[in-house]
Amino acid sequence: MNIRKYQEKDQSSLIDLWNTVFSDDPPHNEPSIVIKAKLAVDDLIFIAENDGKLVGACMAGYDGHRGWLYAVAVLKQHRRNGTGAELVKYAMQSLRGRGCIKVNLQIRTTNTKVAAFYKALGFATEERLSMGAFIE
């Protein structure tokens, strides 16, 4: 397995991955829009490859105060073999290299399997109320 930064050649494979893993995402999370918007800000998208095929991805962000992980995804047939853990660790090290000392993420409350995955990587539930608003 190889983990590296996203390259333009990865676009269609990354779109396919996110559409597969996040098939129930709302329209505002359409992968091509997210990729374009992210690359306009920075290049913190990481890819996991197995035999040259994109099997996982993670997007990260850093605002100078906190780091964030977004859209961590691994194809079902490549889960439970360390791919997701290595992606998260790679992203966290990249954030650390920028001066980040704390990483946050959000998951759906119904996604208990992924909560256990993150707890095994050292994440803990923090009592917060997550809020959002669309800007019109």
So what's the architecture of 2-106 in CATH? 3-Layer(aba) Sandwich (3.40)
Entry pTM: 0.91
Per-residue pLDDT at 109 exceeds 90:
no
The predicted pLDDT at position 128 comes to 86
Per-residue pLDDT at 112 exceeds 90:
no
- Assigned token pair, 65: 């105060």
For a pLDDT cut of 90, what percent of the chain falls above it?
85
The predicted pLDDT at position 54 comes to 97
Per-residue pLDDT at 113 exceeds 90:
no
The predicted pLDDT at position 49 comes to 97
Region 79-104 average pLDDT:
96
The predicted pLDDT at position 136 comes to 82
Look over the chain and give the mean of its residue pLDDT values, rounded to a whole number. Answer: 94
The predicted pLDDT at position 16 comes to 97
* Contact present, 58 and 87 (Cβ < 8 Å): yes
Torsion angles phi and psi, residue 30, rounded to 5: -55, 125
The predicted pLDDT at position 130 comes to 87
Residues with Cβ within 8 Å of 111's Cβ and at least 6 positions away in sequence, in order, are: none
CA gap 120, 85 in Å, rounded: 9
Give the tens place of pLDDT for each residue, 19-77.
999 988 888 899 999 999 999 999 999 999 999 999 999 999 999 999 999 999 999 99
- Assigned token pair, 119: 């707890």
Per-residue pLDDT at 93 exceeds 90:
yes
Instruction: Determine whether 55 is exposed, middle or buried from the number of CB atoms within 10 Å of its CB (0-12, 13-18, 19+).
Output: buried
